[in-house]
Each structure stands twice: as structure tokens, then as C-alpha cells.
């Protein structure tokens, strides 16, 4: 089924924290945007480990001038979900969840854009928008290893909670906070954990209050740490690790490849946004407008090097730049 065309002044693609922040900034400028989100509100945060706590303070996660209160120094995943959900509800942000934008094209009328989408029922929808803000994240696109066995069911790029791994041999690939936190949780539930990390020593990004605990467990051989190493093969019952001394095969039940994520640029290029030689999309730092007038970026999609260089702390302000620019521009009326 296909629905009739719907006219919008601004459509935001993505209901993450940065998309929500952009919507609220536009509301303050007298614009009521529509957010179209292929999954649920702040989907990326809902994918974080169940008991995760943010590295940021709550003040750095706030959007729309609404205080983020917590009894802890660092807010938890559960608190963040509660906060962003309530912000969206309190500000009455219009959101079409579980609807995927499939294409964007310039309007044949000469102004604005036509957006095609498919919702969760399989129905196609058509929107016309004067302006489009792309606020898509990156959590659906893990950095893959490219090794034999990576696509098997025993491998996951996401860690939710430790309980299912009790008593299992688990290999964790990576040395960032996500890998260290997962290893600590797994050790507490009785998993046999081996961390495989390509670095020569512990990452400098590890939370300072966590590192001593982790190092102590490694020293007591409660967690096995393999520095300057990489996984080269995953088999049904084993994994093969390579380092300067050669290779070793370890018994293994599950692999957590916590190697990070990356934004996918193909969606942007499909409607004309150019990609610079360095690999990031073309946009104006002051306005967040791309080389296509009327199309803007907000959040991690505007990252220039790695996806984690723009997180909620900075990406939440992109909407303010966009709102200021749109307020200065004469809004193109609907025909």
C-alpha cells in the first residue's frame, strides 16, 4: 500500500539524542519538524550493555535545556533511556518510529525534496520536505574482522549482559572501555575470559577507576590478556590467535568482537552529498549544511575521522546551528 504525499517543513532522519536535540532546537525557532526513525527512540542506547554507565556526566548528555538528574556520578543506560524518552514526550516531538527512509530526491517542482519510506507494515510513504536533516547513527555497522568464522552464530559485535555466558569460554576482541567492561562482567558470572588486543599495552582511554580492577584480575589470572595479538580464525570449538611468537589455538564457545562501529556514507551519496578525499561528507561547520542546499547533518554522521569523535556531548549542539541557519533563511512555502 502507498500513502499520499505529506508536506513537511523539516524532516529529521534519526531519533537518536542528536536528532531529538535538533528537533527541540527547531521547535524553539518556531519550526515543528517530523522525525522518521527506522527503529525506536535512541535505538543505539537501547543496544548498549544492560548495566552500562556512561563516561560522561549527566550535564553533558542534556538536550533541550531539560535537566538530566541521577543519584550517581555517571548516568546509567536505563536512566538515559528514561531521560530521552521523557524529553521526546514532554516536548511532543513528532516521531514516526519503525519507518525507514529508502530514498531522497529533489522535488520535481524545483524546491524541496521528495522522500520515500517503508514502514513496519510494509507500506510505502511519500513525503515532501523543504529541508532534511540527516541524524543517522552508526550502531548498525560494526567494524568487521574479515576472518574465517566471523559470520557464525557464536560471534557477536554487541554485548548486552553477562548471564548467558556463565561457565563459557569467551574471547573478547578489543581493548577499549566496552571490551574491558564486558570482560569484568563476564568474569563476575564465572565465564573464562580471554581478551585479544592488538595494542602493546592497555589503552589510555580505559576509565581510570576501572583499570586497576582489571589489571588485578589479569595479574591473578582470573582474566587472560593477549597484547599485540589478533584473532585470525574462528572455528566451532576453538579460536586461533596470532602474535609475534606465532599462533595458538584456544578452546572457545563465544566471541565478542567489540571492535567499534562506523557510519555508512552510501546513503548520503545516493542523493548527492559529496565525500571529501579524507572520507567524510562535505558540510559547513558553521551551519551543518552539506553541498546540497537544504540538506543538513547532525550527530555522528558528521564525523570526520572516527565515529566516536562526535558523541552526544558535541552532536547535541548541531541542531542549534541548523536552527539558526534556517531562521536566517527565507522558508520556502509549500505549493
Q: Cα dist. 316→62, 74, 78, 157 in Å?
A: 8, 18, 20, 26
Is the domain 155-257 a CATH 3.65.10.10 member? no
- Single out the residue of 195, 205, 189 nearest to residue 311, CA to CA: 205
Q: What is the pLDDT of residues 250-284, one digit of tens each?
A: 999 999 999 887 777 788 899 999 998 777 899 99
Q: Which helix (H) or strand (E) holds 192?
A: strand 192-196
Fold agreement between 6-140+261-328 and 155-257: yes
Domain boundaries, the chain: 6-140+261-328, 155-257
For position 4, what pLDDT does the model report? 58
For position 1, what pLDDT does the model report? 58
- Number of other CB atoms surrounding residue 201 within 10 Å: 9
- Beta carbons within 8 Å of 26's beta carbon, 6+ residues apart: 10, 32, 33, 319, 322, 323, 326
Going by their DSSP bridges, the two strands 124-134 and 113-119 should be labelled as antiparallel
SS3 201: coil
Q: Which residues of the chain have pLDDT under 50?
A: 307-310, 331-335
Sign of CA dihedral 68, 73, 75, 79: negative
Q: What is the pLDDT of residues 79-132, one digit of tens each?
A: 999 999 999 999 999 999 999 999 999 987 778 999 999 999 999 999 999 999
For position 330, what pLDDT does the model report? 53
Architecture (CATH level 2) of domain 6-140+261-328: 3-Layer(bba) Sandwich (3.50)
Give percent above pLDDT 70 in the chain. Answer: 93
Amino acid at each position: 500500500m502507498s500513502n499520499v504525499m505529506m508536506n513537511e517543513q523539516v524532516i529529521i532522519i534519526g531519533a537518536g539524542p542528536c536528532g531529538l536535540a535538533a528537533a527541540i532546537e527547531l521547535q524553539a525557532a518556531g519550526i515543528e519538524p517530523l522525525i522518521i526513525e527506522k527503529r525506536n527512540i535512541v535505538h543505539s542506547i537501547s543496544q548498549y550493555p544492560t548495566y552500562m554507565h556512561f563516561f560522561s556526566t549527566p550535564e553533558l548528555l542534556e538536550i533541550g535545556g531539560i535537566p538530566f538528574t541521577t543519584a550517581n556520578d555517571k548516568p546509567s543506560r536505563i536512566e538515559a533511556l528514561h531521560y530521552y524518552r521523557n524529553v521526546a514526550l514532554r516536548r511532543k516531538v513528532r516521531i514516526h518510529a519503525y519507518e525507514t527512509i529508502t530514498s531522497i530526491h529533489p522535488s520535481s517542482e524545483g524546491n524541496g525534496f521528495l522522500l520515500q519510506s517503508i514502514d513496519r507494515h510494509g507500506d510505502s510513504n511519500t513525503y515532501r520536505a523543504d529541508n532534511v536533516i540527516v541524524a543517522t547513527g552508526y550502531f548498525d555497522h560494526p567494524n568487521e574482522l574479515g576472518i574465517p568464522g566471523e559470520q557464525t552464530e557464536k560471534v557477536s559485535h554487541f554485548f548486552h549482559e553477562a548471564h548467558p555466558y556463565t561457565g563459557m569460554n569467551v574471547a573478547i576482541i578489543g581493548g577499549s572501555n566496552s571490551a574491558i567492561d564486558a570482560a569484568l562482567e563476564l568474569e563476575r558470572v564465572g565465564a573464562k575470559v580471554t581478551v585479544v588486543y592488538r595494542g602493546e599495552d592497555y589503552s589510555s582511554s580505559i576509565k581510570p577507576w576501572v583499570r586497576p580492577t582489571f589489571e588485578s584480575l589479569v595479574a591473578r589470572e582470573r582474566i587472560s590478556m593477549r597484547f599485540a595479538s589478533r584473532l585470525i580464525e574462528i572455528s566451532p570449538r576453538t579460536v586461533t590467535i596470532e602474535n609475534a611468537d606465532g599462533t595458538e589455538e584456544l578452546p572457545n564457545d563465544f566471541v565478542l568482537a567489540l571492535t567499534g562501529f562506523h557510519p555508512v556514507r552510501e546513503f548520503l551519496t545516493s542523493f548527492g552529498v559529496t565525500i571529501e578525499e579524507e572520507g567524510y561528507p562535505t558540510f559547513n561547520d558553521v551551519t551543518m549544511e552539506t553541498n546540497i542546499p537544504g540538506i543538513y547533518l547532525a550527530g555522528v554522521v558528521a564525523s570526520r575521522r572516527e565515529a566516536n569523535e562526535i558523541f552526544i556531548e558535541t552532536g547535541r549542539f548541531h541542531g542549534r546551528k541548523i536552527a539558526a541557519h534556517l531562521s536566517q533563511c527565507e522558508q520556502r512555502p509549500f505549493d
